[in-house]
Chain A
Amino acid sequence: MDRTSVKIVVAGGFGTGKTTLVASVSEIPPLTTEEILTEASIGVDDITGVEGKTTTTVALDFGRITISPDVVLYLFGTPGQDRFWFMWDELAQGAVGAIVLVDTRRLDSSFPAVDYFERRGIPFVTAVNRFFGECAYTEEEIRGALELDPRVPLVWCDARDRPSSKLALVTLVRHAMSRITAKAPA
């Protein structure tokens, strides 16, 4: 059967505009699905003894864009809190890559997301959300604060604005493609 799913992750710190970005480009109002997680101080591979631990529900927002009759792109927003790494792993698996939203008032809140994708070699772009007009930092300053690899694209965006969110997505897909081309044998 021919129906292919493509995933892009929209990550970033708490309140950086992830849901807003998904909503601005999705063909349906963003949906929310939930996962029940349980607190465990042990490795993921050892699930014994987790009974009786507290459970928590993580909500995931997502949207969709129909690319062609047999390809659908899903955009998943990561949970705002950093402690749900399990969900990040599930979202990142098989994804084209990620958009890491950055709020210039709290640059450090997006650092864990940058670090996460960098360590795993998952292509990502940073999208700096200019919440209140002018940004106090230059691109160099933001790159420095986030310790961005010079090859990681940085775009300025307004997550409420469709063309702006579209630019972030297009930049990511191009970046992912260029990484493949660069790796391919000549």
Chain B
Amino acid sequence: MSFLSLDAINKSFAGVPVMRDATLAVREGEFMAVLGPSGCGKSTLLQIAAGLLPPSAGTVRIAGRAITAPPPEAVYVFQQYTRSLLPWRSVRDNVAFATEHRLGKRRARAIAEETLAQVGLSGFGDHFPWQLSGGMQQRVAIARALAAEPAILLLDEPFSAVDALTRLDLHALFLDIWSRRKLTVMLVTHDVEEAIYLADRIALLTYRPSSISEIFEVGLPRPRDPITTRALPQFLELRQTLLQKLLARPDA
């Protein structure tokens, strides 16, 4: 029933506790957003969920299995998207990165072209990452994750570097792909409106040592519209509640 479950996750860095008993269950096909102030441990939590970082205590389960290494079902998209791309590879080969080890270079490149078209980057396959703008590089990173066709996507602030309009485009693209592919998504963000607009539920992280303090049902109808959905009373109400909770923190 829950596809990804984080059970009493604790994490310390060099003895300093950063996370205490964080527990969260993401259902299959659900769009879950994790909201929290900067530095509270959102990336840490997501990397633990991805099997990239071992928790100090607690278990991560994906599709029922306890994991200790990155599982084949999940792909993590880095907050440091620029650093996650290979500077010596063309954009096409950077996206082929996702599948080349399973399908071979040729097939992987063909998939890469299709995925690049989906994120609005057709024609840029031969460019190198450093020849693209920050927002375009971010889309390359997103395309790379999509090309892998994971069952669950773990997104670490994937829309932070794009301008407001491109962000709306990418939101639409994401919602479209999410609903068509029946993906499960866990999205980390500090943008309240983005969380409400995209997610089914929103988990709130407390400040360090952090844990999940509350979970909100968004409950807005789908398909969502970038303009009308944001004007719904339900949207505005939730936005107010969440902002109050976030601003109420003494050290936020």
A binds B: no
Chain A residues within 8 Å of B, Cβ to Cβ: none
